[in-house]
Amino acid sequence: MHFDIFHCCRLTSGRFMVASDVNTQLSVAQLRQLKEKVELAGRRLRKLVDETRRNEEKLCHMRRRKKTLESDLERRLEIEKSGTPDVSGEVLRELEKPLDYEIETAQQFQARMAHVRSLMSELLVRTNLNEWAAHTEMAEQESEVVTKIRDACKAREMLREALLESQAKAEKAMAERKTRYEELQRLEAELEACSAETWLAITEKNRLSDRLAILTREPLLTPCERVKKARDEEQQQQDRDTSQTENNIDLDLEVNPNLTRSEGGSEHFRDSGDQRNRLESSRRSISIGRSFSSDRSSSGYSVHNQDNEDLVIPVNIMNTIRNAIRDSMGLDVNFD
């Protein structure tokens, strides 16, 4: 929801920015047109000011000439009124050119004025033509500027569309990345839980296998008990061998009763010597059997001791596992 609101706000702000950009471009174009018109009007105003100044100078000159002509006319009238016919020609010649100006007739003045009017008309026509050409050139330049502005607006719009598209793709990629990251966190949590469960299962399996091995094997004896047991076995073996020897001697006596008679003295001693040798051989065999049994018991004890050394008897293994899980993951686990 927050993402949709943010996206709508961005779109609204983007539209507002587009509208503001269009208005800004239009205002800039209008300002340029107004500036060009102001410059053109300024040039025209300067031309008009120059022409007005020249016309004022001409007007001042014509006014001075008018005053001169009026003063000359007054003098002529005064001379005529005086009635003095004897006026020297030099005076008249001097009066013909008052203040070094030529006296023009009305016809000459009208001719010159007509020429001036024709020049003014030609000047106006050329001015109109120049203005028309200037307006045409300005229109062409304005059309070129409008075309460039239109192309710039289109390019700006295309860039804005590309920017919005890239922004949408980036937001989509960010959302997908967020989803993937959340999924990755969830999978990591599941992996940790599965690893913990696997570790617990392996530990429980090892515990059960150790317990089974302990139950199936013989109980571990202390060194004193082992020595005592070896002595008991040795004593039992010795007793068995002694009883077996006695039984053999009894059987021999039962089979050969003549060996104990007194009249066969040499035979008696020989048979007793044989009996003694037989007893010694039996004792030797008993000692060899004892040594072999002791070697077997010692070898069996060494193998059993080695197996017991390889075996690790768990002491409160479940409490250790529970404490490790509590310290690492903060979970309280109860085992049945």
Q: What are the tens digits of pLDDT across the range 276-304?
A: 555 555 555 545 454 444 444 444 444 44
Residue 254: per-residue pLDDT: 63
pLDDT over 80 at 165, yes or no: yes
Q: Which of 302, 185, 286 is closest to 245 using CA atoms?
A: 286
Q: Which of 291, 153, 285 is closest to 233 using CA atoms?
A: 291
The 3-state DSSP class for residue 264 equals: coil
Question: pLDDT digits over 224-274, tens only?
Answer: 777 777 888 888 887 877 877 777 666 666 655 554 444 444 444 344 455
Cα–Cα distance measured from residue 55 to residue 41, given in angstroms and rounded to the nearest whole number: 20
Cα–Cα distance measured from residue 156 to residue 306, given in angstroms and rounded to the nearest whole number: 86
- Tokens 């696997």 map to which residue? 198
Residue 171: per-residue pLDDT: 94
Residue 150: per-residue pLDDT: 93
Paired tokens of 284: 């030797």
Which has more pLDDT, 260 or 122? Answer: 122
pLDDT over 70 at 84, yes or no: no
Question: What values do phi and psi take at 100, rounded to 5?
Answer: 60, 35
Task: For residue 315, give Cα distances in angstroms to 74, 223, 312.
Answer: 153, 22, 9
Residue 276: per-residue pLDDT: 52
Cβ 245 vs Cβ 282: under 8 Å? yes
Q: Which of 293, 297, 288 is closest to 226 using CA atoms?
A: 297
The one-character DSSP state at 291 is H
Instruction: Give the dihedral of Cα atoms 298, 303, 304, 308; nearest 10 deg.
Output: 130
Question: pLDDT digits over 7-17, tens only?
Answer: 455 555 555 55
- The pLDDT of 149-168, averaged and rounded, is 93
3-state helix, strand, coil in the chain (%, to 5): 90, 0, 10
Residue 308's pLDDT band (boundaries 50, 70, 90)?
very low
CB atoms within 10 A of CB 301: 15
Q: Which of 284, 277, 275 is closest to 251 using CA atoms?
A: 275
Question: pLDDT digits over 30-69, tens only?
Answer: 888 888 888 998 899 999 999 988 899 989 988 888 888 8
Residue type, 310: D
- Tokens 């001015």 map to which residue? 127
Averaged pLDDT of the chain:
73
| pTM for the full predicted model | 0.26
Q: What percent of the chain shows pLDDT beyond 70?
A: 58
Helix runs in 83-104, H state only? 89-96
CB atoms within 10 A of CB 290: 15
Residue 106's pLDDT band (boundaries 50, 70, 90)?
confident
Cα–Cα distance measured from residue 119 to residue 44, given in angstroms and rounded to the nearest whole number: 20
